[in-house]
Amino acid sequence: MINKPVKEKKVAIKVMDMVAGYEDDVILNHINFEVYEGEIFVILGGSGCGKTTLLKHLIGLNRPMDGNIIISGIDITDNKGDNLQQVLRECGILFQSGALFSSMTVAENVALPIQEHTDLPASSIGNIVKMKLAQVSLTGYENHLPSEISGGMRKRAGLARAMALNPKILFFDEPSAGLDPVTSAELDQLIIRLNRSYGTTMVIVTHELPSIFSVAHRVIMLDKRVKKIIAEGSPQYLRDNSQNPFVRQFFNREIESEL
Amino acid sequence: MTILNNNLTNLYSFSQESPDKLTIHFKDRLDVSNASPLTKEFNTLLRTHKPDSLVIDLDKLIYLDDYGVSVLVGLKKAMGNRRGNFSLANISEQVNEILTMHRFNELGQQPTSVLKTSQNFFTNLGSSTFNIGSEVRFMLMFLGDTCFSLLTFLRHPGSLRFNDTVENMKRVGLDALPIVGLISFLLGLIMAFMSSVQLQQFGANIYVASLVSISMTRELGPIMTAIIVAGRSGSSFAAEIGTMKISEEVDALSTMNINPNFFLVLPRMFAAFLVMPVLTLFSDLFAIAGGLLVGVTMLDLTVSGYTNQTINSLTLFDVFWGVFKSGIFAILISWTGCLKGFQVRGGAAGVGKATTSAVVTSIFLIVMSDSLLVVILRYWNG
């Protein structure tokens, strides 16, 4: 109480000794890390290292085999879903392909969580949906169906839906996958802007290097051979100073045999 | 005079300087967590006080988000509706930034409902007419494609996907056998039981055998089998091809210079065409067995008596006629299922619609063609 530093970072997500996998197949073995409030935190690693698996555990789609996940001070792994529901209300998730409901228009997709979780009148919901879509530059596409807009737009619409309830934590599964460099850079800017203006904690799973260098405050890197976190820190630091050859390779886009 | 509200006191207070001027002072946060109670609160507030001018004091506001902005927009609109004045006071730089970012000034003016725009009757009528037109066109094109695929098959029989055909035969035929068998058996049982009640009065128990066998082989066997196959396989063809369509697998086939129709439709149609007659024969047999059970246990008939009567009353033509019909049904069901699959647009909802439509259309076509065949047969025989 006395010796604590004045400006302590608050922990948003804490993963303690977690073991994750499918049936007998362990993918992540006893991993520990923390995500602080307001930071952009990137989970990266080569294909098949368990990035998406880790994300699925963080948002409660899968339950860990062992260990605990604590989000906003609530342990989502301890009982049967009550805590998880409470935590999920403060989380937004952007899925890889947007996961928009194909039978609803863009505006209806964004409005859905607002209608379900608040009792605002329809005109207020309409206003909020407009503001959300304006934030992701989709004004004018309210009445389009997801099948009628491009992949990048679908992703932005998915982001608008993920942000619908102004979550404290936003999770992104490969936000730049399948986008052209310009669109992808725009999405990065959007992520940075939202992080600044709302102080939203962001957890991003990706392996797009340019994106990592432009948005990430801190990264962890997973490796499928050891099934653990092999590096943690800012991407610039890891690129230049990491002792682990695999980490340097990854950040410098080198092929393994070249070492 | 300052009146404090009991529930949301730490979020706002209001003061009424003169009877027609109301000022609302916001404090602390105006965000997602309190937007909906505040909206309700202000509705009643405006209704009870009926001010001509409303001033929003944002001096002590610490945090504002888009939900808060929507509360302010709601107030602005409500004042606009009663032709009153609305103004914001003490806007800090940060608040102003958020208001600008969300285009507060534009928001109240345009119609806000972006959800569920209802179109007028004529627009709907026009668009459905166009839809029907394009659907018919697509159907004809698909029919042409199928005929073309058939011609390709006749010229190069070896190019048919043999393994796919066998796999589909298993799925359409073998996997359906238990349910076809059970339903036919019960149907035979019910028919025998119901008719025996009547026939017993005339001492005509033995004719139960004729009734069950003739009605099953000529009509009910093929129809029941067709309806089951439409429900099981017609729907699965539509769902499978529909999903392939929306995940661009069909496009992938086209780009590999493989005719999707030849690749996907022909194996399914052949499979259905080959196994449905066999399923129908099984259906006939199971129904006769059902009738036999009732005949032997309840009507004092012997097994040999029942089977003899069945054989005597059936002609080879009856059996062939049923089998012939089931072949036609097979083509209709599998073709409709594939057609509906290829028509899928959009996403998951489209697949659902196509599946429903495949089953409904198939059953309609089955009954329709059956009636036609009955009429044709009647006049053909004179």
Q: Got the DSSP string for B33-88? A: TTHHHHHHHHHHHHHHH--SEEEEEEEEEEEE-HHHHHHHHHHHHHHHHTT-EEEE
The region, left, alpha or beta by phi > 0 then psi within -120 to 50, assigned to residue B380 is alpha
Question: Once rounded to an integer, what is the mean pLDDT over residues B237-242?
Answer: 95
The predicted structure's pLDDT at residue B79: 85
Q: Which of B35, B23, B21 is nearest to B60 (CA)?
A: B23
- A78 — pLDDT class (breaks 50, 70, 90): confident
Chain A's closest residue to B353, CA to CA, is A103
Band of residue B2 on the pLDDT scale cut at 50, 70, 90:
very low
**Mean pLDDT throughout B255-280?**
92
pLDDT of residue A81: 64
Tell me which residues of chain B, numbers 197 to 256, contact chain A at a CB-CB cutoff of 8 Å. 246
For residue A2, name the pLDDT band (cuts at 50, 70, 90): very low
H helices of chain B, in order, are 35-49, 66-81, 93-101, 104-107, 121-155, 162-172, 177-200, 207-215, 221-229, 235-246, 249-255, 260, 266-298, 303-313, 316-342, 348-380
Mean pLDDT, residues B85-111: 79
CA–CA gap between residue B266 and residue B297 (Å, rounded): 47
Q: What is the mean pLDDT of residues B268-283?
A: 95
Chosen for mutation from A130, A147, A154, A198 (greatest number of chain B CBs closer than 10 Å) is: A130
Q: Of the candidates A107, A134, A197, which has its C-beta nearest B103's C-beta?
A: A134
Taking CA–CA distances from B114, the nearest residue in chain A reads A126
- Which residues of A are less than 8 Å from B77 in CB distance? 123
Strands A66-71, A11-22: pairing is antiparallel
- Cα–Cα distance measured from residue B67 to residue A130, given in angstroms and rounded to the nearest whole number: 11
Contact criterion met (CB < 8 Å) for B115 and A118: no
Which of A174-183, B82-91, B355-364 ranks highest by mean pLDDT? B355-364
Structure-derived torsion over alpha carbons of residues A171, A174, A175, A180, reported in degrees to the nearest 10: 180
Task: Give chain B's mean pLDDT.
Answer: 88
Cross-strand bridge partners of residue A28: A20
Check if A132 contacts B (Cβ < 8 Å): yes
Question: How far is it, in rounded angstroms, from Cα B171 to Cα B153?
Answer: 22
* Mean pLDDT (whole number) for B200-212: 89
Task: Return d(Cα A223, Cα A238) in angstroms, integer.
Answer: 15
Interface confidence, given as ipTM, is 0.73
Supply the pLDDT for residue A4. 39
Q: What is the layout of strands, in order, in the sheet containing A74-75?
A: A25-36, A11-22, A66-71, A74-75
Using only C-alpha atoms, chain B has a radius of gyration, in whole angstroms, of 36
Q: Which residues of A touch B350 (CB under 8 A)?
A: 102
Residues from chain A that touch B349, judged by Cβ atoms under 8 A, are 102-103
**Residue count of chain A:** 259
Q: pLDDT tens digit string along B42-70?
A: 888 888 888 888 888 888 888 888 888 88
Most confident of B29-33, B53-57, B277-281, B295-299: B277-281
The enclosing H or E element of B314 equals none
Structure tokens at B54: 């409303």
DSSP letter string, chain A: --SS-SSPPPEEEEEEEEEEEETTEEEEEEEEEEEETT-EEEEEESTTSSHHHHHHHHTTSS--SEEEEEETTEETTSSSSHHHHHHHTTEEEE-TT----TTS-HHHHHHHHHHHH----HHHHHHHHHHHHHHTT-TT-TT--GGGS-HHHHHHHHHHHHTTT--SEEEEESTTTT--HHHHHHHHHHHHHHHHHH--EEEEE---HHHHHHH-SEEEEEETTTTEEEEEE-HHHHHHH-S-HHHHHHHHT--GGG-
Quick one: average pLDDT of A76-104?
A: 80
- Mean of the pLDDT values across residues A201-206? 90
Q: What is the mean pLDDT of residues A161-181?
A: 86
Confidence of residue B115 (pLDDT cuts 50, 70, 90): low
Between the CA of residue A202 and those of A38, A97, A192, B43, B65, what are the distances in Å? 7, 18, 9, 36, 18
Higher pLDDT, B44 or B108: B44
Higher pLDDT, A143 or A246: A143
pLDDT value for B138: 92
The pLDDT, as a whole number, for residue B4 is 39
Other residues' Cβ atoms within 10 Å of the Cβ of residue B294: 22
Cβ A126–B114 below 8 Å, yes or no?
A: yes
Tell me if A119 and B36 make a contact (CB, 8 A cut-off). yes
Q: What pLDDT is attached to residue A210? A: 85
Model pLDDT for residues B157-203, shown as the tens digit of each residue? 888 888 889 999 999 999 999 999 999 999 999 999 999 888 888 88
Is residue A29 within 8 Å of A228, Cβ to Cβ? yes
Contacts for B224 with CB less than 8 Å, ≥ 6 apart: B180, B183, B184, B187, B283
Q: Is the minimum CB–CB distance between A166 and chain B shorter than 8 Å?
A: yes
Cα A140 to its chain centre, rounded Å, is: 27
Q: Tell which wins on pLDDT, B162 or B110.
A: B162
First to last CA, chain B: 101
Q: In this model, does residue B344 exceed pLDDT 70? A: yes
Contact A147 B346 (CB under 8 A): yes
> Partners of B89 in the beta sheet?
B57
Q: Which of A117, A120, A136 to mutate to test the interface with B (most CBs of B within 10 A)?
A: A120
Q: Pick the range with the lowest mean pLDDT from A40-44, A246-250, B15-19, B115-119.
A: B115-119
pLDDT at A55 over 60: yes
Q: What is the average pLDDT across B28-49?
A: 84
Q: What angle do CA A136, A176, B31 make, to 5 degrees?
A: 35
SS3 B11: coil
pLDDT tens digits along A37-50: 889 999 988 777 88
C-alpha closest to that of B25 among B14, B33, B39: B14
Average pLDDT on A11-38 reads 87
Amino acid identity, position A107? A
Whether the full predicted model's pTM is greater than 0.80, yes or no, is: no
The residues facing B87 across adjacent strands are B55
Torsion of CA A225, A60, A213, B101, to 10 degrees: 170
Q: How far apart are CA B194 and CA B197, in angstroms?
A: 6
Confidence of residue B229 (pLDDT cuts 50, 70, 90): very high
DSSP codes joined into one string, B214-231: HHIIIIIHHHHHHHHHII
